[in-house]
Structure 1
Amino acid sequence: MLADADHESALQEDALAPYIGRLSREVFSRAFGLNSERLRRGADEMLHPGGEIGAVMMAAAAGLTGLTALSTTLESEAEELYGPKKSKRRFYQAQNRHNDAASAERDGDTQRGRLARTW
């Protein structure tokens, strides 16, 4: 029972309507009306295999497992890109290969230029 704090008289049936919208009494009670009996019943349902609450909990746990794996993958990729050792970062490895290739190309061009002048 919802009671007025001043007089401890029951509140009007629609007193919470502006706050809960169109939730039925049953849905509101299941979601927010907890007491020791309902908590124990809910715990029993969670432990009961095949129960709705148990299935929801398992689905949530499975989702968190996927989230944990994704987080680990992203952290690994970030480490490769932005890690503390510049030599291990993929960007700088690619930049070094590019610089080496550009240098080799220049050296080749320079060599060709020297050969052309000697002929």
Structure 2
Amino acid sequence: MRSDSYQAVKRFAAMCVEILNGYRPPSQLRPLAHPQKFGDVSDQVLRRTVRIRMNPSHAARKGALVRVRRVLVTEPLAGVAEGVVVLEHGTSSWAMAVRFEKANRPNFGVFGWVCTLVQVL
């Protein structure tokens, strides 16, 4: 069974894909991000969104939706998870490095994990 941190990163990646494909607004990342880091987190996702923005129905017809190819997560320290999400869009692919931290509030984020850093590579 996968850890809670893996599930949190996977859920975050799925939401990012929905944002990149135009199905969700970036503000919906707010509950998954640390309140003080939301601006930086959403900015990294928006930078990629601007580059590939396409009407979702057009993207679906063209088969050009962004998809998650792979999710890798490690926990180097207790309460810290670092992950890599490999995404693909048509023939191109790129990665997102993410860092999650365990919050002391169980109903916060996904299973208490909140995103504190995203770097789109």
The reply to whether TM is greater than 0.5 is no
Shorter-normalised TM range: under 0.3
Higher relative contact order (CA 8 A, sep 6+): 2
Scaled by the length of structure 2, the TM-score of the pair is 0.20
Higher strand share: 2
Using the size of structure 1 for normalisation, the TM-score is 0.20
Structure with more of its chain in helix, by fraction: 1
**Larger Cα-atom Rg:** 1
